[in-house]
Structure 1
Amino acid sequence: MRERGRTRRLFGLGARAGGTLLRSRLGGEADWRALGEALFEGLSELKGPAMKLAQIMAQWDDLLPADLAEELARLQRQAQPMPWEGIRRSLVEQYGDLDARFSEIEQHPFASASMGQVHRAVTREGETLVLKVQYPGLAEILEGDLAQLRRIMRLGRWLKVPQVRLDALFEELAASLRGELDYHAEACALVRYRERYAHLHDLVIPEPLPDLSGPRVLAMRYVAGTPLRDMESAADAVRQRVAATLADWLTEELFTHGELHADPHAGNFAVDAEGRLVIYDLGAVIPVPDAHLKAMMQLLDATLARDPMAMDDALRQLGGRQGQGAPLALYRESAEAVVPLFEPGEQDFSDVRVHRRLRDLSPKVWAAMDRLQPPADVLLLSRTLNGHYWNLVRLGARLDMHGRTRPLLAWARG
């Protein structure tokens, strides 16, 4: 009965979204704000795959109507928490007598997300930690939700998103969600990243606590911090330090270790009292092969040279563009939008002129997606880097992207 109720709720939300999209397509007045409010209320209660998709879409600031994107972005910071009793049952399954282990567990979550929520706790020994608790029954309802989600995503065709793009996005989302259920894998990623980036003194990764963790509860030492989304009013020096740390870490992650943190929404990052970047969540880490990196840098090289034929060849190297008829005009326009970010000297990520170019370009890229045909893993990589780009925008970063990319471009040519 409960599963049928979820299906009805998801179907109802999909129908409402479809009606709004249809009115927009027919030239009518679409109330994107009202749709966003309905999706926020419904998805924050249902949690799971549909909420995760909405969070992902909200990261693409240049894709959705502004009012809809603003409402969906609330899912990253204001999602309704699951009632305490359901979370408490999961904790009792893990620990048995909670009073024997903890002197306090905060019933209101420290953070609430699509697949679980995080509660601060204090052990009997007086140590403060956080407990990431998977929503009860999530594994059982996941596949049913994914089936409904695939149906809802077909509405994306009304936004002129090709079916190949929708199918690839769905497969990416499904694989990501199944992986996020594995808290043992996330604990291993925390250990690996703490060891790997110990030399980056401005980067903090919480320590997992294996003795207090299990299949549906991940315990970590508590690290206080201001969420990245709330840093816009922080001192400029702090924001620039955090931006440089984020860029340094991403570069090393990709080009030294061949991995990438693939869930870049701002709620997964914070800044501690010392101005260091904190990474809270490592539930989604993807491998990035050297071949992909080289092809990506070759695409950037061709873009900076404003060479549309070389751009098309690089896209083929990535596994896209299987058909004929390269959209050369689109390549030229893409180059004009991207090149300013890589000119010599510091580039200001808060420059609205760059955002405007990228926003104007985005619907044209999506409309040509059936001709570009990027494979699913490239789409995931692109989405992730796009999310990190917008984190740099939120920080008002000023970075010498020209200097940062020169050695990487030389590596790709070698």
Structure 2
Amino acid sequence: MRDRGRTRRLMGLGARTGGALLKTRLGGQADWRSLGEALFEGLSELKGPAMKLAQIMSQWDDLLPPDLADELARLQRQAEPMPWPRIREALVMQYGDIDQHFSQVEERPFASASMGQVHRAVTVAGDTVVLKVQYPGLAEVLESDLKQVKRIMRLGRWFKVPQARLDALFEELAVGLREELDYHTEASAMLRYRERYQDNPRLVIPEPLLALSGQHVLAMQFVDGTPLRELESVDDATRQGIAVALADWITEELFTYGELHADPHSGNFAADEHGRLVIYDFGSVIPVPEVRLKAMMQLLDATLAKEPMAMDEALLKMGGRQGQGAPLSLYKESAECVAPLFAPGEQDFSDVRVHRRLRELTPKVWAAMDRLQPPADTLLLSRALNGHYWNLVRLGARLDMHARTQPLLAWARQPA
């Protein structure tokens, strides 16, 4: 990966995005499809932080114009792979003579992402493995790329997002990307999760192969599965089983172990032939302190009670809403939108009426962002939970969220 020309191309994509936003702000109609196609083509080739940011945005299905969201979503499943000769460079740097370790390495990856791509291989001992290969030279251009991404993110001020929140979101992105570059950290997370859930019959976590892994290549056991985004065509029982396993796992992560898998990209999950949930990628795992969990549950409690003043008090306790003028009418409307998801009985996550109300609410939330000012240290947590929510939507999950949350709300009400 070469630095020459990257800055200029990133600046060009940022300028084009800014032009579309300005046109909309002035009352015009932007060609979001055309912008999305340009971003897809440019970011597919450039990879790195800007592509990661676009993938993150595409997970917020209710935020972007539909045409733009559709194009950016392609970055999660159709991004152009880096040519094999460049990937081979990385493998040679890791292993020296590749043939001493592998009898075969498939040149075409079966997954491409922002920071690396995944190739299937066969060891000299005959075992099928997966090699997650970091794009060559990415570490060298990361910091200069991040500077351009920070400039692009300033466009968020046009949506009245406070600069402090944009800075916090950028720092969160930067820290996460720097950590993703170290595959030793990801291997450690995989080992920790494998031990933690070794007795869970509904989860499969591939084993990292430390003897074949290094800072820029992560080798792991090959576990075949149908990607989550392709499960729409499988039988309902399988989809519901995966949905329940996903929801239970997220709850246990948070409330038992104080951590959360923070990259809800649908390509990171699959169903194996036995209907078990396969979790492939552990490049982003964040700690979630108990005090933060309790505060968020207290906010949910006030929301379900449809008490705007209590919602505002909970947000203030979390460190948000530092400005003047609590948006009580927005709190009330938000509660009306959210409450049906937690009504007694089984809730159908494929109910388009719920999503329509949430989509209609989103622009109002962004318009009030200067007053809401959500706490900076909840941004990644909120994004991750939102992404997991949309994975449940894609699965058409039917879950009794009322029964699931009642014990957690009772826990949050207990005095410290």
Q: Same fold (TM over 0.5)?
A: yes
Cα distance in 2 for residues equivalent to 1:354 and 1:161: 25
**Structure 1 residue 379, shift from structure 2 partner:** 1.2
Separation (CA, whole Å) in 2 of partners of 1:162 and 1:88: 44
Of stretches 170-179 and 386-395 in structure 1, the one that deviates more from structure 2 is 170-179
Structure 2 counterpart of 1:148, one-letter code: Q
Structure 1 range deviating more: 16-25 or 155-164: 155-164
Runs of 4+ in 1 over 3 A off after TM superposition: 159-162
SS in 2 for 1:323: coil
Residue 54 of structure 2 aligns to a residue whose secondary structure is: helix
Q: Deviations over 1:335-363 (max 9, x none)?
A: 00000000000000000010011111111
Q: 2: CA distance between counterparts of 1:189 and 1:158?
A: 38
Counterpart Cα distance in 2 of 1:384 and 1:270:
17
Report deviation, 1:252.
Answer: 0.3
Deviations 1:390-411 (A, max 9, x none): 0000000000000000110111
Q: Distance in 1 between matches of 2:402 and 2:22?
A: 44
Q: Which residue of 2 aligns with 1:325?
A: 325
How many Å separate the matches in 1 of 2:233 and 2:410?
37
- The Cα shift of 1:164 comes to 3.1
Equivalent runs, 1:260-275 vs 2, <5 Å: 260-275=260-275
Structure 2 unaligned blocks of 5 or more: none
Contact 2:109 2:120 in 1 (8 A): yes
Q: Report how far residue 380 of structure 1 moved.
A: 1.1
| CA distance, structure 1, for counterparts of residue 127 and residue 322 of structure 2 | 56
Query: Structure 1 stretch 359-368 or stretch 399-408: which is displaced more?
Result: 359-368
Instruction: Indicate if the aligned counterparts of 1:241 and 1:275 stay in contact, CA closer than 8 A.
Output: yes
Q: Which residue of 2 aligns with 1:202?
A: 202
Partner of 1:73: 73
Answer whether contact 2:160 2:369 (CA < 8 A) is retained: no
- The AA in structure 2 aligned to 1:275 is G
Give the TM-score taking structure 1 as reference length: 0.98
Shift of 1:157: 2.4
* 3-state SS of 2:232 partner: coil
What SS does the aligned partner of 1:232 have? helix
Q: Distance in 1 between matches of 2:316 and 2:182?
A: 34
Partner of 2:314: 314
Residue 240 (structure 1) aligned with residue 240 (structure 2): yes
Q: What is the DSSP-based 3-state SS (H/G/I as helix, E as strand, rest coil) of the residue aligned with 2:189? A: helix
* Aligned-partner residue type, residue 297 of structure 2: M
Partner of 2:401: 401
Which amino acid in 1 is paired with 2:395?
A: L
Contact 1:165/1:369 (CA < 8 Å) preserved in 2? no
TM alignment of 1:141-160, pairs within 5 A: 141-160=141-160
Alignment of 1:20-169 (within 5 A): 20-169=20-169
Contact 2:243 2:392 in 1 (8 A): yes
The amino acid across from 1:93 in the alignment is M
**Aligned partners of 2:156, 2:65: CA distance in 1, in Å?**
13
| SS in structure 1 of the partner of residue 82 of structure 2 | coil
- 1:189 is displaced (CA, Å) by 0.3
CA RMSD, 1 decimal: 1.1
Whole-Å separation in 1 of the counterparts to 2:274 and 2:171:
40
SS in 1 for 2:233: coil
Whether the 8 Å contact between 1:306 and 1:332 is mirrored in structure 2 is yes
Letter in 2 for 1:404: R
1:144 partner amino acid? S
Residue in structure 2 matched with residue 11 of structure 1 by the alignment: 11
Q: Does the 8 Å contact 2:118/2:133 carry over to 1?
A: yes
TM-score, structure 2 as length reference: 0.98
After superposition, give the CA deviation of every residue in 1:97-133 in whole Å (9 maximum; x if it has no partner): 1112111000001210000001000001110000001
Amino acid at match of 1:123: T
| 1-structure distance, mates of 2:139, 2:184 | 15
User: For residues 270 and 187 of structure 1, what CA distance do their matches in structure 2 show?
Assistant: 19
| Structure 1 residues without counterparts, runs of 5 or longer | none
Structure 1, residues 163-199: CA drift from partner, whole Å, max 9, x if none?
3332222111111111101111100000000010122
Moved more, 94-103 or 215-224: 94-103
Match of 2:292 in 1: 292
In the alignment, the residues of structure 2 paired with residue 380 and residue 328 of structure 1 have an alpha-carbon distance, to the nearest angstrom, of 25
Cα contact 2:160–2:370 (8 A) shared by 1: no
Question: Matched residue of 1:122: which SS?
Answer: strand
Task: Report the alpha carbon displacement of residue 375 of structure 1 after superposing the two structures with TM.
Answer: 2.1
Q: Report the secondary structure of 2:345's partner residue.
A: coil
Instruction: Give the Å deviation of 1:161.
Output: 3.3
Q: Secondary structure at the match of 2:365?
A: helix
Matched residues in 2 for 1:68 and 1:164: separation? Answer: 26
What is the DSSP-based 3-state SS (H/G/I as helix, E as strand, rest coil) of the residue aligned with 1:131?
Answer: strand
Q: Which amino acid in 2 is paired with 1:218?
A: L
User: Are 1:165 and 1:370, in contact at CA under 8 Å, matched by a contact in 2?
Assistant: no
Measure how far apart 1:162 and its partner are.
3.4
Shift of 1:314: 1.1
| 1:179 aligned partner | 179
Query: Paired residue for 1:214?
Result: 214
State the one-letter code of the partner of 2:111: A
Contact (CA 8 Å) 1:168, 1:375: kept in 2 or not?
A: no
Contact 1:225/1:273 (<8 A) preserved: yes
CA contact (8 A) 1:164 1:370 kept: no
Give the Cα–Cα distance (whole angstroms) in 1 for the partners of residues 375 and 297 of structure 2.
17
Secondary structure of the residue aligned to 1:74 is helix
User: Alpha-carbon deviations, 1:294-329, whole Å to 9, x = none?
Assistant: 001000100000011111111122111222211111
